[in-house]
Amino acid sequence: MFLLSQKGLDKKVSSSLSGKKVLLGVSGGIAAFKAVSVASALVKKGCIVKTIITRNAGEFVRPLTFETITNNACLTSTFERKEQFDVKHISLAQWADLFVVVPATANIIAKIAHGLADNMLTSTFLACTCKKVVFPSMNTGMLENVATQTNIRTIVSRGIKVVEPTEGMLACGDVGKGRLPEVDDIVQCIFETLSVRTDLKGKNVLVTAGATEESIDPIRFLTNRSSGKMGYAIAKVAAERGARVTLVSGRTDSLTVPPGVDVLFASSACDMYETVLDVVEKQDICVLAAAVADYTPKVKLDYKMKKTDSNMILELVRTPDILASLRGYVKKDTFLCGFSMETQNLLENSKKKLMSKNVDMIVANNINDVGAGFGVDTNKVNIITRDKVLDIPLMTKEKLAGVILDNILNYIN
């Protein structure tokens, strides 16, 4: 549910962020003091920073501190008199490239989740259409409370990035999860969010993900161990980079559909085939990451199959190979990328697939490699095209999604 930032500051990224407008919202937790260092680091990197603090945050840090550091007014009230006349929460909302809330208390998260607008911070947040990042910080019990978790899920589903708090000694003396991340990590996460590219704007991208289910009878089905994480990560990153994404999803490990992605659910290989064919014609890029059954029971019973004392043979028939059939249905220059999961002869088998399925790229992984394959959040792959084989090291599926899309763009631009 959470999204984590990565350590270390990328100089190339920060230099391109000069002049970016960051609205820094501060709510009333003990970690509010760290927001001062965050404001300072952003200003040093060339960002223009304006702050809004809640009345409670003002008990921990003074507006004057932020004003001195940012050289901009720090707002606390919706009815501020000292600023020039305009509707402040609306003009600020339109001004910002990014709205970050550091720290975000359980209270402010609840208000955001429910669309409350009862102070300057929440009113501006509600009016704001730019990217938003929220950094929760609170006592472990408050964080783990189902109410807070539900609120976090709600705001994540609306496209707001929520960064996981770290573990450690909390202000209340408890040890647990709920600490605000270190200032460097917060700043890095802000920079990553600001520097997200829009290089897929205008492109239609189709992604398949998850496992198919082949019905035997109303109770049993044949399936596989795919979690859907890789396909969902590709859909998410493609949408973040500006693509219009259609995700055709089989069964997953209860994954949430990424914000801005159109989803069509398909259960069996045949359902997925038909669903894909319905939408494939307009696609510029197709990434087929679903683990599709190669065989399905010849007969699907509509009553429960009863056991007998003897062994049984279940007759299976071939399913359509969706990927292999696509070339006949797509535009001439549509880029086709498939996946290949093997336990033996990875490169040889995957190169054969590239040719036999007539596609432009195969992302291949050996599920016996540590950290690769089903269920885990990481993957280690080879990207195979007609002219080269790239060895991509172990990384998160989300990061790998970006690498795969970068490589696809190298071929279509």
Interaction residues for ligand C5P, span 195-214 (CB under 6 A):
208
Interaction residues for ligand C5P, span 245-274 (CB under 6 A):
269
Annotated active-site residue in 74, 128, 130, 172: 172
Interaction residues for ligand C5P, span 344-373 (CB under 6 A):
353
Q: Tell me the CA distances in angstroms from 154 to 2, 106, 149, 398, one per residue in order.
A: 12, 13, 9, 21
Shortest distance (Å) from residue 201 CB to ligand C5P? 25
Of 50-58, 194-202, 335-343, 371-379, the window that binds ligand C5P (rule: CB under 6 A) is 335-343
The residue whose two tokens read 């952003």 is 42
> Distance between CA atoms of 243 and 240, rounded to whole angstroms?
7
Parallel, antiparallel or unpaired: strands 98-104 and 74-75: unpaired
Of 156-164, 297-305, 336-344, 374-382, the window that binds ligand C5P (rule: CB under 6 A) is 336-344
CB nearer ligand C5P, residue 174 or residue 294: 294
Cis peptide leading into residue 259 (ω within 30°)? no
CB nearer ligand C5P, residue 110 or residue 263: 263
Interaction residues for ligand C5P, span 287-306 (CB under 6 A):
288, 290, 292, 294
Q: Please, which residues bridge with residue 318 across strands?
A: 295
Chain centroid to CA 274: how far? Answer: 27
Among 120, 323, 361, 401, binds ligand C5P (CB under 6 A): 323
* CA terminus-to-terminus distance, the chain: 33
Q: Quick check: 120 and 77 in contact, CB under 8 A?
A: yes
Whether 172 is catalytic: yes
> Distance between CA atoms of 151 and 136, rounded to whole angstroms?
11
Of 68-76, 241-249, 315-323, 380-388, the window that binds ligand C5P (rule: CB under 6 A) is 315-323
b/e 226-235 (16+ beta carbons within 10 angstroms → b): bbbbbbbbbb
Q: How many CB atoms lie within 10 A of CB 369?
A: 14
Structure tokens of 145? 């409370």
Shortest distance (Å) from residue 294 CB to ligand C5P? 6
CB nearer ligand C5P, residue 76 or residue 319: 319
Closest by CA to 107, choosing from 46, 157, 54, 70, is 54
Verify binding: residue 228, ligand C5P, rule CB under 6 A: no
8-state DSSP, 219: S
Of 42-50, 284-292, 301-309, 327-335, the window that binds ligand C5P (rule: CB under 6 A) is 284-292
Verify binding: residue 322, ligand C5P, rule CB under 6 A: yes
CB nearer ligand C5P, residue 113 or residue 255: 255
Which residue ranges make up the site for ligand C5P (CB under 6 A)? 208, 269, 288, 290, 292, 294, 319, 321-323, 338-340, 353
Supply the residues annotated as catalytic.
172
